[in-house]
Structure 1
Amino acid sequence: MSGDWSVLRSSSLAPPTSPVAQLPTNTSQYHPLSDWEAPSFTRAAQFRVGATLVLFVFAACSNLALLASVWRGRRLASHLRPLMLSLASADLMMTFVVMPLDAVWNVTVQWYGGDVLCKLLCFLKLFAMHASAFILVVISLDRQYAILHPLDALSAHHRNRRMLLLAWSLSLLLASPQLFIFRAVRVEGVEFTQCATHGSFSRRWQETVYNMFHFTTLYVVPLLVMSCCYSRILLHIHQQHLRDKAGESYLRRSGTDIIPKARMKTLKMTVVIVLSFIVCWTPYYLLGIWYWFQPDMLHITPEYVHHALFVFGNLNTCCDPVIYGFYTPSFRADVAACCRWTASGADTSPRSPDRLSIGRGPHSGDHESEPAANNQAGD
C-alpha cells in the first residue's frame, strides 16, 4: 500500500481522508470541472487529526523510552538488542513521518509542499510501514529459532543482523516506486493542488495490481510468516508438554526450571504482538480491498468510518512498547526511575535509570540476571 488507500486511485485529487472531489476514472480522458467541488476539512477529519495528535504524543514518548532503555540497558541479550532497537526505530518512523504528515495534510486539505516533497514524504510513509511490518517478521523468526533451536544461540547475533539488513533493504526497495508515481497535480481552472498518483497509470487495473502488491507485502506475507512461526512454537511447546507428562522431561536439568517459564512468557508476548498487528490493521486493509474493487463504496460507508479505521491502524505503533514493557520488568523499572528523576529534578545521585535496572537486589523478584532468563522479552 502506498499509504492511505483513498488517495491511491489515479483519478483522485483529494487528500488521504477526503474521498470526495473525484476526477474521471479514465485518466486518458478529462471532463470539464465546472461541477467539481474541492474537499474540505470536515468534522470527521477534525476527529482524525485530534486522535492522531494524541497517538503521536503517546507513541513518541513510549517508543523513545523503549529506544533509550534498550540502548542503555545491559540486561538484554546482545542478539536481541538490535531487534528491539530496530522495532523502536521503525515505530518512531511511523510516529514522526506518517502521523504528522497525515494530520497536517488533513488540516491543509490540499498539497502545499511541492513536487519533490510530495514524492519524498510518500516514499518515507511507505518505507516506514514496510519496515514496521518486516521487523515484526524478523522478531518472529528469531523467536522461532530461539525456542526450536536453543543450542544455536551463538549464531543468533549474526543471523539477526543479516535478517535486519534484508528487512530494511526490502523496505527501501519496495517503497522506491513512490518516488515515480506520486506527483503534485494542479487542477485546471481552480486553485487546487494535490499530491496524488493522477496520470501515473494508464488503466485502473494497473493501479489495482500495484495496490494489491503492496497489500500483499505489507500485510499478507508478514501475517503468514508470523503465523507460521508462532504455530511451530505452539506445536513445539505442546510436544514438549506431552514429553514432560510422559516422564521424558530431559530439559529439566539442575537450575533450569526457569526455562519453561521464560519460554511461556516469550510465547505470550509474541502472540500478543501478532494479535495487536492483526487487530489494528485488518479492518483498514479490508476496507482498502473493498474500495479497490468497488470504488462506489466511498459513497456508501460514512466518512468517519474511513478516518476511524486509519487511526485504529496507527494504534499498533503505540502497542509495541506497551507490550514489551508489560513483559519486561527492567523496562518498567527504567521508565519508573526516569519519571522519579524527572519529578525530583536533576538529581546528582548515582542511581541512574540504567543502574537501577541492573542493580536490583537478589530478593527484588526480578530474575532477569539469571542466564536462563536474561531476555524476558524473549529468550
Structure 2
Amino acid sequence: MDIPFEDLARLLANMSGSEGRELLESISMQRYRLSRPVIGLIVLAYSLVFLLCVIGNILVLIVVIRTPRTRTITNYFILNLTISDLLVGIFCVPFTLVNHIFTENQFGDGLCKFTPLIQGVAIGASVFTLTAIALDRHRLIIHPTERKLTVKEAFGIITAIWIFSLTIMIPQVFIRRDEVIMILGHGMHICGEFWPSVEAKQIYSGFLFVLCYMGPLLLNACLYVKIGLTLWYKKPVVKTPMAAADAKKKRRVVKMLIMIVSHFALSWLPLYTCWMLDDFNALSVSHSETMHDYVYPAAHWLAFTNSVVNPIVYGYFNNHLRENFKNVISMKTVNNSTMNKTRETL
C-alpha cells in the first residue's frame, strides 16, 4: 500500500508527451528518490525511532516478565500491545526507510510481500488490543459486579486478535509483488500493489480504514467517555480511604489508556490520509510524486513514533514500572521486597 507505482505508471500514460517523457526520464535515471541532505535527515530520524522503539518495548517486556505480581489481565493486553510495537520497530521501520530512499525495490519479491503483511498485522493487533482493553475497562468500571476475565479467556482473546489481523491482511500477499517495469528501455524493479481492478483496490482500502482505524477509534472514544463520566462524577457508595485510593488508581489507568489511544489516532491519521488519497486517485501526477517523495516519509515516521511513545506513557503513569525500568537499565537485581510491593496494574 505504501508505494503504488503501478498507479503512477497508469497516470503517466495519460500525460502529454513532453511532460510524461520528462518525468519518466527523471524516474528511470535516478537511483535515489531524495537529495542527499534529505536522505541524511530521514536516516537520522528513522534510526532514532528504531532504537527507541526496540529498547523501550524490550524494557517493558523484561520489566513485566520479571515482576510476576503485575501479570494482570490488563497487563497481558498491554504486553500484547508491546509485542506488536516491537514488530513494527524491527520489521517495518528499516524496510520502509530503504524504500523511501531508493527508486527501485531493493529486497526482492519475498520481502515485498512479507514486510507490508507484518506491518498490517502489527497495526491490526495494536488497534484491536486497544479496543479489547477499552471493553475490559468498561466492564470492570461500569459493571463491577460482573465476572472478570480469566487468564485463559484473555489469552483466547489475544490469540483471536492475531488470527483476525492476519486474516484481513492476507490479501497483501496476493496483490503485492516485485515486477520489472520497462521505462524508456530501462527495466526497473518495482514493489507495488497490482489489483485486478481499481474498484477492488478501493473497496479493500475503505474496508481496512473503517475496520482498523475509524471504527475502533470511534468505539474506544464512546467507551472512554462513558468510563470517564462514571469515574469522575459517580460517588462511591461507601467513602473509605481504600475506596478513594482504588478510584484514584482507576482514573490513572484510564488516563494512561486514553493517552495511548489518542496518540495512536493522531500519529496514524496522516498516513491513512495519504493512503486514501492515493487509493482513490484524488491527486494529480505531480502532487502524487511530491507526496511519495516527501509526505510519505514524514507520515510513516510519525506513525512509527506511536510504537516509541507507548513505553514512555507506561513509565510515566506507573511509579513501580518506572522504578523497575531504572533497575533493568542499571542491571541491578530487583530484590524481593520491591517485587512484593509491585502490585499496581499498568
2:274 aligns with 287
Shift of 1:340: 2.3
Residue 191 (1) aligns with residue 187 (2): yes
Tell me the distance in 1 between the aligned counterparts of 2:335 and 2:56.
17
Q: Post-superposition, which runs of at least 4 consecutive aligned residues in structure 1 deviate over 6 A?
A: none
Tell me the distance in 1 between the aligned counterparts of 2:114 and 2:237.
56
2:104 aligns with 110
Residue 219 (1) aligns with residue 178 (2): no
Shift of 1:265: 0.6
Asked whether the equivalents of residues 95 and 317 of structure 1 are also in contact (C-alpha less than 8 Å), the reply is yes
Deviation string 1:244-297 (CA, Å, 9 cap, x unpaired) is 3xxxx3143573331111111112111111211122112222233233331214
Asked whether the equivalents of residues 80 and 129 of structure 2 are also in contact (C-alpha less than 8 Å), the reply is yes
Change (3 A) 1:110 1:9: closer
Q: Which amino acid aligns with 2:250?
A: R
Q: TM-score, normalised by structure 2?
A: 0.85
Residue 41 (1) aligns with residue 36 (2): no
Tell me the distance in 2 between the aligned counterparts of 1:167 and 1:105.
29
Q: Which amino acid aligns with 1:353?
A: V
Question: Which shows bigger deviation, 351-360 or 115-124?
Answer: 351-360
Residue 358 (1) aligns with residue 339 (2): yes
1:24 aligns with 10
Tell me the distance in 2 between the aligned counterparts of 1:120 and 1:291.
21
Q: What is the DSSP-based 3-state SS (H/G/I as helix, E as strand, rest coil) of the residue aligned with 1:195?
A: strand
Tell me the distance in 1 between the aligned counterparts of 2:189 and 2:291.
26
Tell me the distance in 1 between the aligned counterparts of 2:88 and 2:305.
11
Change (3 A) 1:219 1:8: farther
Tell me the distance in 1 between the aligned counterparts of 2:144 and 2:71.
14
1:365 aligns with none
Shift of 1:301: 5.9
Question: Which shows bigger deviation, 35-44 or 308-317?
Answer: 35-44
The number of residues matched between the two structures is: 330
Shift of 1:57: 0.2
Shift of 1:78: 2.9
2:67 aligns with 73
Q: Which amino acid aligns with 1:124?
A: I
Change (3 A) 1:221 1:337: same
Residue 125 (1) aligns with residue 119 (2): yes
RMSD: 2.7
Q: TM-score, normalised by structure 1?
A: 0.79
Question: Which shows bigger deviation, 314-323 or 100-109?
Answer: 100-109
Q: What is the DSSP-based 3-state SS (H/G/I as helix, E as strand, rest coil) of the residue aligned with 1:185?
A: strand
Q: Which amino acid aligns with 1:41?
A: R
Shift of 1:299: 5.3
Question: Which shows bigger deviation, 291-300 or 133-142?
Answer: 291-300
Residue 165 (1) aligns with residue 159 (2): yes
Q: Which amino acid aligns with 1:295?
A: L
Provide structure 1 residue ranges, at least 5 long, that are not aligned to the other structure.
Answer: 12-21, 342-350, 361-367
- Residue number among 279, 288, 297 corresponding to 1:298 in the alignment: 288
Provide structure 2 residue ranges, at least 5 long, that are not aligned to the other structure.
Answer: none
